Amino acid sequence: MSAEVLLSVRGRVAVVTLNRPQVRNALSGEALKLLYERLDEAFGAPDVRAVVLTGAGPAFCAGDDLREAAGLDENAFAGTVESWQRITEVMLRSPVPVIAAINGPAIGGGLEITLACDVRVASSAAFFACPEVSLGLTATNGASVLLPALIGMGRASEMLIGGRRHDADWALSAGLVSAVVAPNALEPHAMELAELIASHSPAAVRLTRDLLRSPSAPALREALEQEANACVTAFRSSDSERWPITSNRTR
C-alpha cells in the first residue's frame, strides 16, 4: 500500500488518511488515483459501517499539487479534473456514511471533497477557502450545488467568488461543519461519531442518507459536467504566471 494514502480498519470504522504532509496533503494525479482506490476498498469492506477521511500532519488537504499541475496541457488538466470528480462520485455512491475529520487547512479541492461527506467536523486549527478564482480557475467537484445546499447561496457565492479564507468558528456558524473541537480531540470525536453511526441499523442509515441526498441528485449530475467544462475553459484562458507554484498552495 502506498504511503501517500493510508487505510486502516478499526472494528466497524475505516480511516482513510491523506499522507503527503510535506505539501499539506495536496494531491497529485497518482495520489488522487490512490485515494479513489482506498475509498473504494473501504466502502467494499464487509464489516465497515462508517468511514473517517482525514489528513496527516497539520493540514487536511490543500487541493491540487500545483507543482505537477503547472506542467499539464489542457487535455491532462481535464483528466485531473475528472480524477477529482471521481472522488466526489465514489463518496456520494458510498454504501456507508463518510465523516470528514478536518484537522487543518481545507483548500480548493480539499474543501470540495468534504462536501460529498455526510458529516464534517473540524479542529479549531482548521480553515477553509475556495481560492480557484484567484488562480484563474473555477471550483468543481459538485461545489456549485453542494456548497449552497450546506451554507446557503449568499455565503457560497462569497466563498466561491471572493476566495476569502474562513476560520473554523465561521464554518460552524455557517453550517459548513457540525462541530469544532480542540486539535487533540478531533480524532476521538470523529471516531466516537463514526462508532455511534456504525452501531445503528445499516439499512435505516442507508435509507435515511438516500432521503437526504435524493433532491439534489439530478442537479449534481448536471453540475459536475458543467463544472468540468468551466474549469477547463478557465484553465485554457488563465495566465499561468499567476499560479504560485513554489508555495504548494493549490486551487
Q: How many angstroms separate the CA atoms of 165 and 156, rounded?
A: 12
Give me the domain span that covers residue 62: 5-184
Annotated catalytic residue: which of 112, 222, 227, 241? 112
Kindly state the helix (H) or strand (E) to which residue 181 belongs, with its residue range.
Answer: strand 179-181
What is the rounded CA–CA span in Å between residue 175 and residue 28?
29
Domain annotation covers residue 170? yes
**pLDDT score recorded for residue 247:** 40
In this prediction, residue 243 carries a pLDDT of 52
User: What integer pLDDT is reported at residue 180 of this predicted model?
Assistant: 98
The whole-number pLDDT of residue 23 equals 96
User: What is the distance between the alpha carbons of residues 101 and 122, in angstroms, rounded to a whole number?
Assistant: 6
Per-residue pLDDT tens for 43-84? Answer: 999 999 999 999 999 999 999 998 898 889 999 999 999 999
Question: pLDDT value at position 67?
Answer: 86
Task: Retrieve residue 243's grid coordinates.
Answer: 499560479
Strand partners, 63: none
Annotated catalytic residue 30: no
- Classified as helix, coil or strand, 72 is coil
Q: What is the reported pLDDT for 66?
A: 84
Q: Give the three cell numbers for residue 182.
A: 480542540
CB-count exposure of residue 193 (10 Å: 0-12, 13-18, 19+):
buried
230-240 residue pLDDT tens: 999 999 886 54
Q: Note whether residue 26 is domain-resident.
A: yes
Three-state DSSP state, 10: strand
- In the chain, how many domains are there? 1
118 and 50 in contact (C-beta within 8 Å)?
no
Say what the pLDDT of residue 206 is: 95
Q: What share of the chain is helix, strand, coil (3-state, %, to 5)?
A: 55, 15, 30
Per-residue pLDDT of the chain (251 residues; tens, 9 = 90+): 459 999 999 999 999 999 999 999 999 999 999 999 999 999 999 999 999 999 999 999 999 998 898 889 999 999 999 999 999 999 999 999 999 999 999 999 999 999 999 999 999 999 999 999 999 999 999 999 999 999 999 999 999 999 999 999 999 999 999 999 999 999 999 999 999 999 999 999 999 999 998 877 888 989 999 999 999 999 988 654 445 443 444 44
Q: pTM of the entire structure?
A: 0.93
- Please tell me which residue in 4, 68, 132, 227 is annotated as part of the active site: 132
Residue 217 in domain? no
Name residue 129's beta-bridge partners.
Answer: 107
* The three three-digit cell numbers of residue 130, written as one number: 475556495
Please state whether 13 falls in left (phi above 0), alpha (psi between -120 and 50) or beta.
Answer: beta
Q: What CATH number is associated with residue 97? A: 3.90.226.10
Is position 176 within any domain? yes
pLDDT, position 237 = 86
Instruction: Fill in the DSSP letter of residue 117.
Output: S
Please check whether residue 45 lies inside any domain of the structure. Answer: yes
Q: CA–CA separation, 17 vs 77, rounded Å? A: 25
Determine, yes or no, domain membership for 118: yes
CB atoms within 10 A of CB 41: 15
List of residues 6+ apart from 118 with CB closer than 8 A: 97, 98, 99, 209
Asked whether residue 52 is assigned to any structural domain, the reply reads yes
Residue 101 lies in a domain: yes
Active site residue 132: yes
